Chains A and B, each alone.
Chain A
Amino acid sequence: MQTSRQKQFDALVVPHLETLFRVAYRLVRNTADAQDLVQDTCMTACGSLEAIGAADSPLAWLLRVQHNRFIDACRRQGRSPLVSSDECDEVAQMASELPDPEQVLQQFQSEQRLEQAFLQLDGSQRTLLALRAEGYELPEIEAVLGVKGNALSARLHRARLRLARLIADMNCEAESVRHLGSRK
């Protein structure tokens, strides 16, 4: 026999588990950590079922919690510096410092390098890009992150350029692929 809390949980949270997992996986790029993140989110949700029920969008509420848990985890592990890129002056220079367009596009072909670079972004940038990669529209992302309009667009733009910059800096996979077989 289900308790009322179980019923609430099943109605408000369970339908979104798949989505939470997909976003979590995009953030951390491995199944085990993604499961932990979803579980942490659910743990918070268990204590706030009434709040979720009252929210306009339970999914946005859950994604926001998941984002916060993710940022907390980043801080604990010290792996993402969480220096806000918003104030970062270097962003304007990023594009001009990138390699040729052709090389830039080619660099993205390496999945492993893309993942490595993605994991070096700060937590907020990862969340932004993960949500966009999942197809969320700007208003939906606004609801999750609490960042509005033009600022959100600008952050997305910066996050993508930052990712490209990281890949260019690593400049490893494409060149190492050349390394693999370029002796003519």
Chain B
Amino acid sequence: MNCQDISRIANTGRFDELSEAQLRAVEAHAMTCRSCAAEWGAHRRLAELPVPPMPAELRQRCQAMVMLPPEARRARNTRRLILIGSFVAVAAAAWQIAVREPTAVTAASALEATGVASSVADPVQPADVTAPAMPRGAADQQPKEPLPSEEPAIADVAVDGHFILVSRRFERAADAQAIALAERCFDTVASELQGLGGLTVVLDPSVSLRESPSEELKLAEKDQKLARSHGAGYMLAVSTEMGCNFTVFNSSTGLYMLGLGGGGVDQPGERADALARSIARGIHAHLVVGRSAEAIESRARVLNAGLSDRDRTTALLRLLDGGRVGFRSAAETRTLLDEQVMAVALQLAAKGDAEVRTAIWSLLRQTDDRALVQPLLLAMKNDPDRSVRYQAVQAARKFLDVPGVRETLQEMAAKDPDSEREIFCCVQTVREAAERAAVTDADFLGWARRKLLDESLPSRSRLITLIGMSSDGRFVGQISNIGPDAAGIVFQIAQRDPDLRVRAMAWDILYFGQPDKEFVAREVVPVALDDLRSSPNERVRAGAARILSGYKDAAGVREALERAQTDASIIVRRAALGEGGGPVSAE
């Protein structure tokens, strides 16, 4: 399989017609090639994006059109009326949630994992069922048992990879139909998981409501804490975003699991049920059936010296990350990365091509085996490829206590040739990555504050550590964590710097950093209002809209947000509608 093959398949083949072997070959190649990863990822995921059934009334509307004289055909639909109707539904749904009794819990008995797959469950793919929508509210509550009242302390319980917590995270603004749909998805995915066996399934009885995307952090932490308190290795969140949405997290790391989850069905019905069931089967395939079989097969390929470097690298990726079956826990990874596998990995890191070397160091970021240190130092100092050095720097962070590692990182932070890149989203250059990697966890917040206060640095460098993205999983979080004056300094930087990208970054930081509300209302809101009304930069307007969405009672804010809903820029419209996502300032 080569790049031309991938392009040809993406241009001419149908994803759903590929054989399992073809699919694996394509994905194996894509794992080691940027261009093909992009091409294939776009092709596959676009094809998988769900499309709802055509509304029945559309046919009637179109047929009616032919009856009209030409000048009368431009009758538009009546979306505004529908919106008014939905406000009533929202109120009803909010009430329903507020008074709802605690719901679920059913604990299926945990079975021993068999270790080797005897059959492979369906991959996670939304089924393309176009059945008519079910009536609203069809998914209403069934009697469910309460959660055990005594929760063990987190530290006392080892998490179990065959144990999953299923929770609900709804947007407060979701309408009744969206909530009914998500409830239905929640019930369906839970009962399917229980029916498949081999998993202990605990249903969180509470429903988390969130006002804004930034609250997702708190909800995720709550779920993680709850999952770990019950010893659940995984958590599945069912949300109302994009219709009904499923996200699976590893409760040890908090990271979401590649290849699982997904969703986006916006009408109740068999299609939603089919999606929920396929999600459940995918999770089951990962947690129960697939992981051991995948590991055995991948390990054999890693150790097979007859395969190419790229094939062995792909196999190593599958072995350590779980490949198609998703994310492996740190404990699993340590077990799988035994001496033989490590020896192959280091061999590939030394002699593979640049993409192989990059992939290997990226994979080895997960480990803290000191056998890595010398090869890492060599790669950091001598590798000609910036991507390899970047990944090596990230991997080196675990060895700051080993003599020579911190010094090498500091030297790279000052001298690495990869220093010129004006990208506003995250750590991008090797110098920046090295500087960050040399900072211990204990000093991270102090370092972020020192950067913010350092007036000799460009504004971007002062702000970059505060933005809600991270190359290494470390975040400042609430901006007050680095000092009560930090929000004010960010705001000053934004006002002084003529670069609008800096201003957009500042709005993101103030939005995600949740600064003191009084300060925002007094100082920030008037400036954000001006920006929303008149900034020529869409990211500035979007950032301002998101800040303002939490202050709708302030003078002029509600009207400005309503006007912004017709902005020419989609990111501004979405921000004005309160639709979330990550930072808008990324360029």
Query: Which residues of A line the B interface, CB within 8 A?
Result: 3, 5-6, 9-10, 13-14, 17-18, 21-22, 25-26, 29, 31-32, 35-36, 38-39, 42-43, 46-47, 77-79, 94-96, 98-102, 104-109, 111-116, 118-120, 129-130, 132-133, 135, 137-138, 153, 156-157, 159-161, 163-165, 169-173, 175-184
Contact = CB atoms under 8 A, between A and B. Distances in A.
Contacts of A161: 35, 38-39, 42
A112 B41 contact: no
Interface stretch (B70-78, B188-196, B283-291, B375-383): B70-78
B468 A132 contact: no
B483 to A, nearest CB: 19
B362 A100 contact: yes
B49 interface: yes
- 6 closest A-B pairs by beta carbon, nearest first, are A172-B582, A181-B254, A164-B38, A95-B35, A175-B469, A176-B582
A176 B255 CA distance: 10
A129 B46 contact: yes
Contacts of B581: 112-113, 116, 170, 172-173, 176
A138 B66 CA distance: 32
B37 A101 contact: yes
A18 B484 CA distance: 57
B358 A111 contact: no
Contacts of A113: 581-582
A180 to B, nearest CB: 4
Contact of A169 (B67, B391, B586): B586
Interface string B286-320: 00000000000000000000000000000001000
Contact of A25 (B52, B258, B355): B52
B63 A10 contact: yes
Contacts of B321: 102
Given A96-B34, A111-B242, A160-B39, A180 B73 contact: no
Given A116-B571, A176-B469, 20 more contacts: A39-B62, A42-B62, A46-B66, A79-B569, A96-B34, A101-B33, A101-B36, A105-B27, A105-B31, A106-B258, A107-B41, A112-B581, A137-B12, A171-B469, A175-B582, A176-B581, A181-B217, A181-B253, A181-B254, A182-B253
B61 A39 contact: yes
Nearest to B218: A180
B65 A46 contact: yes
B2 to A, nearest CB: 14
Nearest to A135: B14
Contacts of A5: 66
Given A101-B355, A102-B359, A181 B255 contact: yes
Contacts of A13: 62
Contact of B77 (A36, A179, A183): A36
A14 B63 contact: yes
28 contacts: A3-B67, A5-B66, A10-B63, A17-B62, A18-B130, A32-B79, A35-B58, A42-B62, A95-B35, A101-B37, A102-B317, A105-B31, A108-B41, A109-B261, A111-B242, A111-B263, A135-B14, A161-B35, A164-B39, A172-B581, A172-B582, A175-B582, A178-B470, A180-B216, A180-B220, A180-B221, A181-B217, A183-B221
B583 interface: yes
Nearest to A136: B14
B356 to A, nearest CB: 11
Contact of B259 (A32, A109, A137, A153): A109
A114 B65 contact: no
B44 A108 contact: yes
A19 B247 CA distance: 30
A157 B36 CA distance: 10
B570 A120 contact: yes
B11 interface: yes
Contacts of B266: 31
Contacts of B38: 94-95, 98, 104, 160-161, 163-165
B580 to A, nearest CB: 8
A110 B426 CA distance: 18
Contacts of B45: 108-109, 111, 114
A181 to B, nearest CB: 3
Contacts of B65: 39, 42-43, 46
B51 A26 contact: yes
A18 B62 CA distance: 12
Contacts of A96: 34
Contact of A133 (B49, B249, B570, B582): B49
B346 to A, nearest CB: 19
A29 B49 CA distance: 9
Contacts of A104: 34, 37-38, 41
Contact of A160 (B43, B241, B256, B574): B43
Given A172-B581, A176-B583, A109 B258 contact: yes
A26 B510 CA distance: 34
A77 B568 CA distance: 6
B264 A132 contact: no
A181 B220 contact: yes
B586 A153 contact: no
Given A79-B569, A105-B31, A179 B59 contact: no
A31 B512 CA distance: 31
Contacts of A120: 570
Interface string B545-587: 0000000000000000000000011110010000001111011
